C-alpha cells in the first residue's frame, strides 16, 4: 500500500493535495536512499488532516532532528 493512500479519495481536495505533496517529498528522500522516521510520518498525517499548519510541521520536524543530531 502506498503512503497516505487513505487520503487519495478524500472529499476535501486540500487534504488530497497535502497528502500527495507529502508522498512526493518522502518519495524523493527514498530515491536518494534515505528513509524518514515514523515521527515525520506522524507529523505529516497531522498536517494532512489540518490539525497543524505546515509551519508547525516544519518546526516540529526541525526540532526533532536537531535533538537527534546531539
Q: For 52, left (φ over 0), alpha (ψ -120 to 50), or beta? A: beta
pLDDT of 22 over the 60 cut: yes
| Average predicted confidence (pLDDT) for the chain | 93
Q: What is the pLDDT of residue 17?
A: 97
pTM beyond 0.75: yes
Q: What is the pLDDT of residue 69?
A: 64
pLDDT of 28 over the 70 cut: yes
Q: What CA dihedral angle connects 67, 56, 18 and 61, to 10 degrees?
A: 0
Amino acid at each position: 500500500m502506498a503512503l497516505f493512500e487513505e487520503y487519495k479519495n478524500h472529499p476535501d481536495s486540500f487534504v488530497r493535495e497535502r497528502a500527495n505533496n507529502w508522498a512526493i517529498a518522502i518519495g524523493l528522500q527514498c530515491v536518494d536512499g534515505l528513509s524518514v522516521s515514523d515521527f515525520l510520518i506522524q507529523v505529516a498525517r497531522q498536517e494532512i488532516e489540518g490539525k497543524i499548519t505546515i509551519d508547525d510541521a516544519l518546526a516540529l520536524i526541525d526540532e526533532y532532528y536537531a535533538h537527534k543530531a546531539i
